[in-house]
A = this chain, B = another copy of it.
Amino acid sequence: MVTVDAMALGKDYATQECSIARALEIIGERWTLLVIRDALYGVRRYNDFLVHLGIPRAVLAARLQALTAEGILEKRRYQQSPPRDEYVITERGIALWPALRSLGLWGRQHYTEIQLRYFRHADCGTELGPYGECPACATVVPVEDVLMEPGPGLDPDPADPVSRALLVPRRLLQPLELPVQPGRV
């Protein structure tokens, strides 16, 4: 049992008067930003986060609860029987897209040889600029209009079903619908 207090504290940077430090208190723990990334990609279910991230179950449960408490994810019942909840990213979480985009771009430019994913403006197909803008349309592209496509650096035949589902070009935020397991009718 984790108390609300222990949750609220987390790892704080008490002496820092800085909005970066405030942000890091919320999303700076291990795995947290990857959970948010997956949520932007359309992942919503506990088990999908689990297999896609390879995160320990207890840590995932703690992160989902903390992010829900912070209003970054929203827990929502999507079926009554059996009762099942999904975690949907909120406006506050979506607002982290530019930061994730910047981080990813930095990682690619400095540490990734081959392009792993393309992010395009769904309306015109143009690849996004460094700030998430469309160079052709000269506008900031809303997150739901960002089209994610696999790049040449991505494993074309990954083991887990979530990675496979993310190989199909798709818009951000679009809920991930996993194909029904083989063996079922």
Contact of A110 among B21, B37, B92, B106 (CB under 8 A): B92
Q: Is the CB of B19 within 8 A of A104?
A: yes
- Counting every copy of the chain, the complex holds 2
Q: Does A22 contact B (CB under 8 A)?
A: yes
Q: Is the CB of B130 within 8 A of A109?
A: no
Contact A20 to B95, CB < 8 A, known contacts A13-B34, A14-B54, A30-B11: no
Q: Which residues of chain B are near A14, meaning CB under 8 Å?
A: 54
Provide the bound-state CA to CA distance between A102 and B20, in Å: 9
Q: Is the CB of A98 within 8 A of B131?
A: yes
A positions within 8 Å CB-CB of B: 11, 13-24, 26, 28, 30, 33-34, 37, 53-54, 92, 95-96, 98-112, 116-117, 130-131, 133, 153-155, 158, 163
Q: Is the CB of B23 within 8 A of A111?
A: yes
Chain A interface secondary structure, helix, strand, loop or mixed? helix
Provide the bound-state CA to CA distance between A154 and B15, in Å: 12
Q: Is the CB of B54 within 8 A of A19?
A: no
CB distance from A36 to the nearest CB of B (A): 10
Q: Which residues of chain B are near A102, meaning CB under 8 Å?
A: 98-99, 101-102
